[in-house]
Amino acid sequence: MDFKSFLQHANRNKWLIIGIPVAVIVITFFLVSRLPKQYESEAQVSTGLLDPSKKVISNETVDWFTTNQQFSNLVEKFTMKKMMDILTYKLIIHDLENQKTSFKPYPELVENWSQTERQQVLDLFKARLAAKAVLTLDDDKGKYPFYTIAETMGYSEEDLNIHLDVSHSGNSDLITVKYLSESPVLSAYVVNTLSSEFISNYSTDVTLNQNSSARILDSLLQGKKTQMDLKNEQLSKFRKTKGVLNLTEQSATVYNQISLYESQRAEAMRVIQSNGGAIATIESKLRGSDKYINGSSRADNREIIDLKRRLQLANNAFIDGGFKPSDQRRIDSLNRILSSRSAVNADENVINTASSKQDLVQQKLALEIALQQARSSIRSIDSELSVLRSRYSGMVPFDADIQNYERDAELATKDYMAALDRFNLAKTDQKLGLNLKIEQVGLPGNPKPSKKVLYVAGSGIGSLSLCIGFIFLLVVANTSITNAKQLEAATQSVAIGSLNSIGNKEVNPRDIWNDKSDNDMFTVYKEQIRSLRFEIFNQMELDQSKILGITSLKANAGKTFIAYSLAYAFALTGKKVLLIADEQSKQLSDETGLVTSQSFHSFLVKKEFHTEDLITVMNKSSERNSLLEIQNVVSLRNGFDVLKKEFDYIIIDINSLADVNISKEWLLFTEKNIAVFEHNTSISDQEQGLVRYIKEQPGFLGWILNKVV
């Protein structure tokens, strides 16, 4: 769909587009002029949920999610059936009690009642109001149809809800109640009555619920307290009978004492072992040959004495021998050996061995005393450990029992404290709960601004939009092809030209080309034919083609007239043209002297024809015979070769592609082909195959959109 197509459809339906909106506007104006005035009244109810001045704890943090839920619940409860039925009863009672000041005139049902019946109905409605009975269809089964009475008086739940609006706006603390009616007094009465009745009923319901909850919580609290006292009494009794004040601390004290004595015993055992080892080492040294304890050995002393004796003998021999050098050397050697052994003996006897032995003996005595002391302490420690372990073992059997008692007592205490918290919270909520109050009462006001202009404008715009939308749907649903671009998109091939509709079926090419008047239709058509001739000429000159076939997707697309028009157009350029086409009732021109009696089938048989000046016409058989049934392919090709030598162009008016058997035979002998498509027609699914077939022909040039309006 394009904008041009839309405008064309709109132009054809312009009176529809103008007429319907005007009629709708007139009817709407007539109807809205009879509408009564509307009066709105508004009351506002404060809740205290978001007003710091009404909170005991002014710095209390606001939970917005919970608060919004509370506001939503209040708004929903405002319009509950129970509240709406109470409002219905109030309105009916008001009107029945005050006939002169009733909000609405009595309906026929009420007018027909006697004074006694009216009073009876009034008393029954008061009784229902006192009982807060719900109004249903079942209430019509008695003597007086209460549900029908409410409907006929215009006070049923459905009637009231239509014009009632209860809302909470933004982050305010107020709930707004609005009502719209034809009476300012009625609007004020509805919002004020509904608000006051809601506050009264809601407060009563909340008080009853809170008192019921408080009684339940108090009973639960007393049960938890009894259970807690019982468990604590059992724990206390167990401690008294078993002599255990605090088993955990007592057992911990005994265990620490056991650990201390075990540490002392381990220390005493270490002393015993270390002192015993030290005493054994001292005794070993005293019995041994330690040089620091026992000094030099006797063998060393005998060696020194022997060296001194030998030195004395050497000195005597040196003197007696006359001081021989050899004796002197012997004396020197013995002196050196003696000096060396004396020095060694002196080093080995630096420490006083007697003093060392005395020290060791004293250390041994001290260690033996300490050893005896440690052994004595072991016996004392073992005795204390035995007593402590006995006491600790006596506490172990009570541990599991006292843990059970303590756990039960602790759980009972926790349950009691949780119940106490819930009880206190309920009491707090009961004292500090919602404080509903009418902050602003509803007052009778002026009528609301008239919306007549909006209704009239809306009706006009709406009807105009519907008309335009209807035309838009027609255009969208229309699959007809109206321009060359759509034709190319539908056939997936090129469109080489488009031709306007001539309108007059009796016109022929001679009339068009010889027309000297200012007929714009003929002028445009001639320009389009020249443009089409130019496109065909260029394509045929590329490979020196001479035979042009013209077919169409459907019959009556105007291909025969186009064939005659192209023949005339090519003749005007000085080309000799042979036109093989269906018979026409009129000649193309007087000058050419067309002979319309020549038959193409006769030519195929006799191979004889008469040529005219520029245009020669051969008529196809009107019997729609098959070419291949007249001559074989070779003979047909020879016949066309003869014609190609005689004429510059041969234009064949081929049957439409709907006659697929005939058109395929003619297409065997054409060198170039064009297809004609009628304007404002569509391509069906069955014709898509014919479109693909003509596109696949080797000499296919493109499509011509014909009869364009």
User: Quick one: pLDDT at residue 455?
Assistant: 60
Average pLDDT score over residue span 620-639 = 79
User: Quick one: pLDDT at residue 368?
Assistant: 79
Residue 532 has pLDDT above 90, yes or no: yes
Percent above pLDDT 70 for the chain:
73
Q: Which of 302, 300, 328 is nearest to 315 (CA)?
A: 328
**Cβ contacts of residue 282 below 8 Å, gap of 6+?**
360, 361, 363, 364, 367
- Residue 428's pLDDT band, with cuts at 50, 70 and 90, is low
Residue 591 has pLDDT above 60, yes or no: no
> CA of 416: how far to CAs of 226, 228, 410, 422, in Å?
9, 7, 10, 10
Give SS3 for 476.
helix
Instruction: Please list the alpha-helical segments (H only) found in 154-246.
Output: 157-163, 184-242
| Integer Cα distance of 144 and 57 in angstroms | 54
Residue 684 has pLDDT above 80, yes or no: yes
User: Quick one: pLDDT at residue 298?
Assistant: 53
| DSSP-assigned letter for residue 421 | H
Q: Which of 701, 573, 595 is nearest to 649 (CA)?
A: 573
| Integer Cα distance of 100 and 322 in angstroms | 188
| Integer Cα distance of 349 and 687 in angstroms | 142
Beta bridge partners of residue 45, listed in sequence order? 175, 438
Helix-then-strand count for the chain, H and E: 24, 11
CB contact burial 585-607 (16+ within 10 A = b; e otherwise)? eeebbeebebeeebbbbebbeee
Residue 516 has pLDDT above 80, yes or no: no
Lowest-confidence region among 41-45, 359-363, 660-664 = 359-363
Average pLDDT score over residue span 467-493 = 75
Within 10 angstroms of residue 70's Cβ, the number of other Cβ atoms is 15
Pairing verdict, β 700-708 and 672-678 = parallel
Backbone angles phi, psi at 43, to 5 degrees: -120, 150
Residue 164 has pLDDT above 70, yes or no: yes
- Residue 551's pLDDT band, with cuts at 50, 70 and 90, is very high
User: Quick one: pLDDT at residue 347?
Assistant: 56
User: Quick one: pLDDT at residue 531?
Assistant: 93
- Residue 701's pLDDT band, with cuts at 50, 70 and 90, is very high
CA torsion angle 469 470 472 478 (round to 10): 160
Query: Whole-number mean pLDDT of the chain?
Result: 78
